[in-house]
Amino acid sequence: MVAAMLLFSGTMATPASAQQPKAIDCTNAVNQMEMGYCAEKDFQAADSKLNEYWKPARQAAIARDQELQGDDKGAEKALLAAQRAWIAYRDATCVAEGFAMRDGSAEDMTVSMCKTRLTQQRTKDLKAYADSLKQK
């Protein structure tokens, strides 16, 4: 009996609701759910780019520390502390911005858009930081 039930359950057709959802075209998002999804994807892309720029910024700080003596060292430690503080700042700032849409369907999208904007700016800042250390 159990084998028959397993056999039967394996041959059942998949309901239409379990099919793959249609792909969301973020160049033409038409409803709040799609716009929120696209805003989150934009943030993920910006965060990924920031992580690409973090590595050379950190390497530049390490290289600068290697050029310095004793108590003058600390570029890498300072950069890490700054980055941790910046993440806390970004997240708190964007939660605060989200209050403009509090309890509305656009709140999450507003937070994601804020995080994207600040992350893109931080990426530029990290690049400038690394470039400035390389010029020393």
pTM for the whole thing?
0.79
Residue 7's pLDDT is what? 45
Residue 26's pLDDT is what? 87
CA dist list (Å): 77 to 10, 22, 52, 81, 96 = 57, 46, 19, 6, 29
As given in the structure block, the two tokens for residue 77 are: 């430690």
> Could you tell me the pLDDT band of residue 4, with boundaries at 50, 70 and 90?
very low
| Average pLDDT along the chain | 87
State pLDDT tens for residues 104-122. Answer: 889 999 999 999 999 999 9
The answer to whether the beta carbons of residues 73 and 65 sit under 8 Å apart is: yes
Residue 45's pLDDT is what? 97
State pLDDT tens for residues 30-45. Answer: 888 899 999 999 999 9
